Structures are given as structure tokens and as C-alpha cells.
């Protein structure tokens, strides 16, 4: 009764055997023809292709995976899907994967280690070939263990638990440069709004802030620092609270694009003029930063380059087997000077 092969409308289950039967040949011949193997006549190849097309044959990737023990899946594991960083990574990965015949599995963990684990499990189950991961701050041991069986590259963030090379940004350098720039304009009360220091990107950039201050001989003042993870909203509230201070900071450096976004919003709401009342250095460089007020001075992340570097590392690892050596690299950000910073006014 429930025979999938009768004339039910959908030609769902056409297999290599059906094609073979249709042609009166063996199914291995069909396989050879379709896969362009040797020891098969051109004529047969043509006939098989023809028949396959007519019958609507579609190779079953699952069966192939079963035989070869490897899929064509590459996992992209990220905290969220709206960030500049994600966009760059996804864009580069998508293009490269497509060209190489891989499929890209998108996994969003929202900074939840449990969700992250479940994604990694699913990728292992699917015998994913490789993984690009922006890890959560609290990667679980089990996650790290599972990841060992695959080619992995850490992207943007780095977790020491995960035994895989990383492609990151030298955030410390970026933020230190921002502080130096502000100092050169005469600023001394420089605030910092950044990510929590439980993640590599957080402590890295915070360290840069401290280094920057040290170099200009200004003591670190915890009262001028705000760290938080809810990004947009936190940027708003942190900036608002800094504006309450007396004396106010004369400049502020942000540690993420979303925090910058929130901070700028807060300034606007409070009627604070940038850069007349407050100099601002953002972090990251979404295309719209240049449209904010007179254009936002910012620590520009070379997202495209980072993404390309990560993908190339991954593809190399995949091609070279699990032992392919691969070094972690950290790219240098650079300061883009626009109009949101100005000399300190007496």
C-alpha cells in the first residue's frame, strides 16, 4: 500500500537503482557514470545522465555521507546574527563554502553555553567537516571535548579551553591607540564603556584602556569605567550615568559597536554635543558610523580581512587533516579619524 514508488505525484524517491532499472543496467554503472569515474564509455555516461535527468534523480547526500563518513557541512557558531562581525564572517564563509561545495550551517548561541553545546553536538552528529566559532564566555568542557574531533577555528573571541587556533583582533592595541589620540588632544578624564572582562574581547580591550592611560601618565579611575553585556541598552545607561558625573569626563572610548551605538543615543538624548561637549571614539566601523553627527572617530575593525583569514585557516585544516599545524593570529585595528573628537576646551 504505502509504496513510495507508485505513481504518487511527488517523484520523491528516485534512486540510482530506479535509473539503472530504467536503463537495464546495473546500479553500479549508474553510480560510475554519475560520478564521472573511469572505465565507463562516454555513451553510457550520456545515457545515464539523460535518464537521471528525466526521472528527476537527485543524489542522496545522506547515503553518501554514510559511506564516506564525512559530510559537506561546515558550522558557523555565533552569539548573534546582527553584528558587523557576524556579517563579515558569514559573507566570507558563505562565498568560500559555496565555491568549495560545502554547505554552511548557521548556529546562534546567544552567549548561552548550553545552547552552544547543543549546536556542537548537532554538528558532530552531522559529521560536520569544520567549524568556525565565536565562543561563549563560558565554554563547557564537553563542548571543548567534542570540538576536538573536528577542524576548528576560533573567530574574534578566544577561549583557552578550545584547542584550536584563533583569528582575533588586537583590541588592546586599538583601544590604547584611541586613548593616545584623545590624550594628544589634551584630554585626561577619559571614560571607557566596554564589554565584561569574562570574555577575551572584554579584558583585552580593557587592558588596552589601562595601557593607554599608563602611557600618558593618568591614573586608572574605576569610576570612569563601565562594563556590561546587554550592549545597546547598556551603552545607553552607562553613558547616561557617566554624564551624571561631576566633573564629567571630557572624552569617552567605547569597546564595542553596539555599546557605541547606545552611548551615542544617550548623548543625543541628554543634549550633549559631540565633540564640543564630549569627544567620542567608537569601536568597530559599521557603514553608518560616518553618518552619525559629523562622522564618528572609531577603532576600525578589519572584519573582512579577519573573516578571510579565518576561512582560509579552516579550509587549510580541512584539507590537511586534523594535524595540520595552524597558528593563532591577531590582526591590528586602526583608528579612523573623523569629527567626533576635538581638542579639550579650557
Q: Which residues bind DNA (CB under 7 A)?
A: 13, 15-17, 24-29, 31-32, 34-35, 37-41, 43-44, 57, 59-60, 63-64, 66-69
CA distances from 30 to 23, 33, 38, 41, 53 (A): 9, 5, 12, 12, 12
Q: Which does 322 bind (CB under 5 to 8 A by kind): DNA, its own copies, none?
A: its own copies
Find the binder of its own copies among 1, 2, 3, 10 (CB under 8 A): 10
Q: Which does 21 bind (CB under 5 to 8 A by kind): its own copies, DNA, none?
A: none
Q: Tell me the pairing of strands 190-194 and 225-227.
A: parallel
Residue 278 has φ and ψ, to the nearest 5°, of: -155, 130
Q: Which does 298 bind (CB under 5 to 8 A by kind): its own copies, DNA, none?
A: none
* Other beta carbons within 10 Å of 65: 15
Number of amino acids touching its own copies (CB under 8 A):
57
Which one, of 187, 225, 114, 154, lies nearest residue 342 by Cα?
187
Specify burial of residue 311 (Cβ count, 10 A radius: 0-12, 13-18, 19+): buried
Smallest gap from residue 204 Cβ to its own copies (A): 26
Indicate whether 90 belongs to the interface with its own copies (CB under 8 A). Answer: yes
Smallest gap from residue 98 Cβ to its own copies (A): 7
The Cα–Cα gap between 138 and 141 comes to: 9
Specify burial of residue 9 (Cβ count, 10 A radius: 0-12, 13-18, 19+): exposed
The Cα–Cα gap between 34 and 261 comes to: 53
- Residue (94 or 180) nearer to its own copies, CB: 94
Find the binder of its own copies among 65, 186, 203, 339 (CB under 8 A): 65
107 close to 89: Cβ distance less than 8 angstroms: no
The Cα–Cα gap between 269 and 212 comes to: 29
- Residue (69 or 325) nearer to DNA, CB: 69
CA distances from 175 to 140, 205, 258, 261 (A): 30, 6, 16, 17
Smallest gap from residue 129 Cβ to DNA (A): 16
- Residue (106 or 185) nearer to its own copies, CB: 106
Find the binder of its own copies among 21, 80, 111, 339 (CB under 8 A): 80
Which one, of 173, 174, 186, 176, lies nearest residue 214 by Cα?
176
Q: Which of residues 271-290 bind its own copies (CB under 8 A)?
A: 286-288, 290
Q: Which of residues 91-150 bind its own copies (CB under 8 A)?
A: 91, 94-95, 98, 103-108, 115, 118-119, 121-122, 124-127, 146, 148-149
- Residue (8 or 241) nearer to DNA, CB: 8
CA angle 165, 168, 170 (to 5 degrees): 130
The Cα–Cα gap between 282 and 289 comes to: 8
Smallest gap from residue 284 Cβ to its own copies (A): 12
Smallest gap from residue 65 Cβ to DNA (A): 9
Find the binder of its own copies among 264, 266, 307, 314 (CB under 8 A): 264
Q: Which does 220 bind (CB under 5 to 8 A by kind): its own copies, DNA, none?
A: none
Q: Which does 290 bind (CB under 5 to 8 A by kind): its own copies, DNA, none?
A: its own copies
C-alpha cell at 54: 528525466
Please report, as ranges, the residues that interact with its own copies according to CB under 8 A. 4, 10-13, 58-63, 65-66, 69, 71-73, 76, 80-82, 87, 90-91, 94-95, 98, 103-108, 115, 118-119, 121-122, 124-127, 146, 148-149, 232, 261, 264-265, 268, 286-288, 290-292, 322
Amino acid at each position: 500500500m504505502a509504496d513510495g514508488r507508485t505513481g504518487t505525484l511527488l517523484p520523491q524517491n528516485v534512486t540510482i537503482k530506479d535509473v539503472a532499472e530504467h536503463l537495464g543496467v546495473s546500479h553500479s554503472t549508474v553510480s560510475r557514470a554519475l560520478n564521472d569515474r573511469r572505465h565507463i564509455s562516454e555513451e553510457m555516461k550520456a545515457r545515464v545522465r539523460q535518464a537521471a535527468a528525466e526521472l528527476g534523480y537527485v543524489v542522496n547526500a545522506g547515503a553518501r555521507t554514510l559511506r564516506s563518513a564525512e559530510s559537506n557541512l561546515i558550522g558557523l557558531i555565533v552569539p548573534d546574527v546582527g553584528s558587523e562581525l557576524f556579517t563579515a564572517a558569514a559573507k566570507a564563509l558563505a562565498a568560500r563554502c559555496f565555491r568549495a561545495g560545502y554547505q554552511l550551517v548557521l548556529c546562534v548561541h546567544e552567549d548561552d553555553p548550553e545552547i552552544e553545546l547543543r549546536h556542537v553536538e548537532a554538528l558532530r552528529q552531522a559529521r560536520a567537516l569544520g567549524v568556525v566559532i565565536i565562543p561563549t564566555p563560558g565554554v563547557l568542557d564537553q563542548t571543548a571535548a567534542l570540538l576536538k574531533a573536528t577542524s576548528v577555528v576560533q573567530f574574534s573571541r578566544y577561549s583557552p579551553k578550545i584547542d584550536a587556533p584563533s583569528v582575533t583582533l588586537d583590541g588592546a592595541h586599538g583601544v590604547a591607540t584611541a586613548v593616545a589620540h584623545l590624550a594628544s588632544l589634551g584630554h585626561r578624564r577619559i571614560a571607557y564603556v566596554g564589554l565584561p572582562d569574562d570574555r577575551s574581547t572584554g579584558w583585552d580591550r580593557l587592558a588596552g584602556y589601562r595601557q593607554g592611560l599608563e602611557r600618558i601618565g593618568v591614573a586608572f579611575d574605576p569610576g570612569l569605567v563601565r562594563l556590561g553585556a546587554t550592549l545597546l541598552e547598556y551603552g545607553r545607561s552607562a553613558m547616561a550615568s557617566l554624564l551624571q558625573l561631576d566633573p564629567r569626563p571630557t572624552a569617552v572610548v567605547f569597546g564595542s559597536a553596539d555599546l557605541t551605538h547606545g552611548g551615542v543615543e544617550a548623548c543625543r538624548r541628554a543634549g550633549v554635543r559631540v565633540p564640543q561637549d564630549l569627544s567620542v571614539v567608537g569601536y568597530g566601523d559599521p557603514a553608518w558610523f560616518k553618518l552619525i553627527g559629523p562622522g564618528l572617530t572609531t577603532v576600525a575593525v578589519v572584519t573582512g580581512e579577519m573573516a578571510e583569514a579565518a576561512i582560509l585557516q579552516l579550509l587549510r585544516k580541512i584539507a590537511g587533516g586534523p594535524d595540520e599545524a595552524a597558528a593563532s593570529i591577531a590582526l591590528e585595528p586602526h583608528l579612523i579619524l573623523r569629527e567626533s573628537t576635538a581638542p579639550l576646551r579650557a
